[in-house]
Structure 1
């Protein structure tokens, strides 16, 4: 694995506790910081509006509700983000078809590649 260029603060949105813990472990192992974890849409929207983080990884489906309102807020704030999904990027709705996706189940190398791909858009 390539070493990180700098430690990033990452917001994780995931409704499955075990998957969220796995993501947190992977991010910490990669040398990053998890700034917040949200499992419900309302909570995630609040953090997306006011939270301090460098990028976000969003589960597409939060307890049966799409995470697009969170994505919209992040896009408006200019914060890079990616979707995590077991359905593949082909199932994303407009205007989010261009957003990078992380296919579930994922491993550390997948997460690192995703982050490295998002880094050029991080100020």
Structure 2
């Protein structure tokens, strides 16, 4: 997995993981945990992420699969934008027809290296100050 490269990069960061495929969700959660993050989730339904945002004010970053069990994640993404929480889209379906408001959101196409994803989240966190 290459976690030695990312160990500690996300220390004390709460990362929301929205992924409906068990093995991918598990890989992402493990890599983020080994990078020092506190993983919130993973959740496979949009409503679970929206509910979690109401009770978990400490979310710093997020990884969002665009299609969660047949539901697009855009309502949750808009909520994260409103809260100023940086996030990455991760999907196996391509990125056609993303709403304009998400045009600048980093995108990862599955399959991807989860350690690289952890590095990208750390860079995204640093870029916001």
Return 5+ residue gaps in structure 1 as ranges. none
| Cα displacement string for residues 48-77 of structure 1 (whole angstroms, at most 9, x for unaligned residues) | 344221111110001111100000100111
Q: TM-score, normalised by structure 2?
A: 0.82
Greater relative contact order (Cα 8 A, min sep 6): structure 1 or 2?
2
1:86 deviates by: 1.6
Return 5+ residue gaps in structure 2 as ranges. none
* C-alpha RMSD over aligned residues: 2.0
* Aligned residues of 1:102 and 1:114 also touching (Cα < 8 A): no
Segments of 4+ moved more than 6 angstroms: none
SS in structure 2 of the partner of residue 99 of structure 1: coil
Q: How many residues align?
A: 123
| Cα displacement string for residues 11-44 of structure 1 (whole angstroms, at most 9, x for unaligned residues) | 1001111111111111122222202321111111
* Aligned residues of 1:14 and 1:62 also touching (Cα < 8 A): yes
User: Match of 1:98?
Assistant: 104
Distance (whole Å) between structure 1 residues aligned to residue 24 and residue 122 of structure 2: 21
SS in structure 1 of the partner of residue 102 of structure 2: coil
Q: TM-score, normalised by structure 1?
A: 0.85
User: Match of 1:29?
Assistant: 34
Distance (whole Å) between structure 1 residues aligned to residue 48 and residue 28 of structure 2: 18
